[in-house]
Amino acid sequence: MRIGIVCPYSWDVPGGVQFHIRDLAEYFIRLGHEVSVLAPADDDTPLPPYVVSAGRAVPVPYNGSVARLNFGFLSAARVRRWLHDGAFDVVHIHEPTSPSLGLLTCWAASGPIVATFHTSNPRSRAMIAAYAILQAALEKISARIAVSEYARRTLVEHLGGDAVVIPNGVDVDFFAEAEPKPEWRGGTLGFIGRIDEPRKGLPVLMRALPKILAARPETRLLVAGRGDEEAAVEDLPAELRSRVEFLGMVSDQDKARLLRSVDVYVAPNTGGESFGIILVEAMSAGAPVLASDLDAFVQVLDQGKAGEVFANEDADALADAALRLLGDPERRAELREAGSTHVRRFDWSTVGADILSVYETVTAGAAAVGADERTTGLRARFGLARD
């Protein structure tokens, strides 16, 4: 099958959507399919052979973050050329409602189109206001996928229609087989995320750290991600700052090794999350997970069976939960076992096969039924009843 995948966000700025698209493309390539990914990227950025640059992206504040998007006449021309040259059997657009390549591709493409919705934003005024503009493009979509029930609800409430829920995927064995680093072991908490992005929750973790260190002064916090490191610790007492080690941007290999090494992985995110891929990666690596009680996180953690949660933005609750876990090796072992079992449902062998089933359905029945009928059939096929 010839598969075209559209990435809305800059390829050279790491993020969950980009990682999902990368891994999905490489999964299909390993199966023998022909895959091309269209993504924003600087023209001089080294890209994998399957990625085509649509030109430089522009940073745009969105959903508590900064999305790097690509839109305009030059981008539209590159979209049309990519579609013409690719002659795809199916085009898979991620975040088709963002003002980026996905929307341009919806307007330009013909034939089967699958769309994946990643965003969970229950009060998106922008999406409501843009409905009239988006409607014509959305009507061309053959089937809709949402990465979580919360992303599906955002779609249903703002744009109508429905979607089958297929979660983000992870190469579970890649994380499970990583070698821990000795220097990252022993009384360590881990955090991975953009330091400068408040919704990733590092400030909450920093507020919890004095209480944790007062009870367990040997504890260290390992932080991986880009951002202003000095600003991140400026509110932390000077004598405690040495207990925070900033690792900067880490490779995929070192991310897996970090998650394999820490005693507890902490996800203090405060909102705007529709899934929580880092939780899946942590569970894959066998890291006991402690996360804020966002609805999406609770669902990924199997309603708290595969990880522990604390009240969102409550630094004291975070500190108390972290201290309980650090002091209870048996509970950490239980979470490792539960997480390692639960996470198998997110492996690409399952997720990729489900997405391929969607492709096969829309290509086989492109002329037979409408998008809502196809999506209803897909939801029935995957055992998901309409609300």
pLDDT at position 274 is 84
Asked if residues 176 and 284 have their Cβ atoms less than 8 Å apart, the reply is: yes
User: Which CATH number describes the domain made up of 2-169+347-381?
Assistant: 3.40.50.2000
pLDDT at position 132 is 61
In angstroms, rounded to a whole number, what is the distance separating the alpha carbons of residues 290 and 258? 15
φ, ψ for residue 363, nearest 5 deg = -75, -30
Q: Which helix (H) or strand (E) holds 260?
A: helix 252-261
Triad 96, 359, 116: Cα angle to 5° = 25
| Cβ density class 364-378: b for 16+ within 10 Å, e for less | eeeeeeebeebbbeb
CATH superfamily ID and name for 172-345: Glycogen Phosphorylase B; (3.40.50.2000)
Sequence spans of domains, the chain: 2-169+347-381, 172-345
| Cβ density class 151-168: b for 16+ within 10 Å, e for less | bbbbbbebbeebbbbbbb
pLDDT at position 75 is 83
pTM assigned to the model: 0.85
pLDDT at position 384 is 41
Mean pLDDT by 10 residues, the chain (387 residues): 94 86 97 96 88 78 54 81 97 88 88 90 55 73 92 82 92 97 97 93 98 98 96 96 97 97 98 91 98 95 96 98 98 97 96 97 71 56 42
- What are the residues facing 146 on neighbouring strands? 117, 165
Same fold yes or no, 2-169+347-381 and 172-345:
yes
pLDDT at position 385 is 37
- Strand 2-6 versus strand 34-39 pairing type: parallel
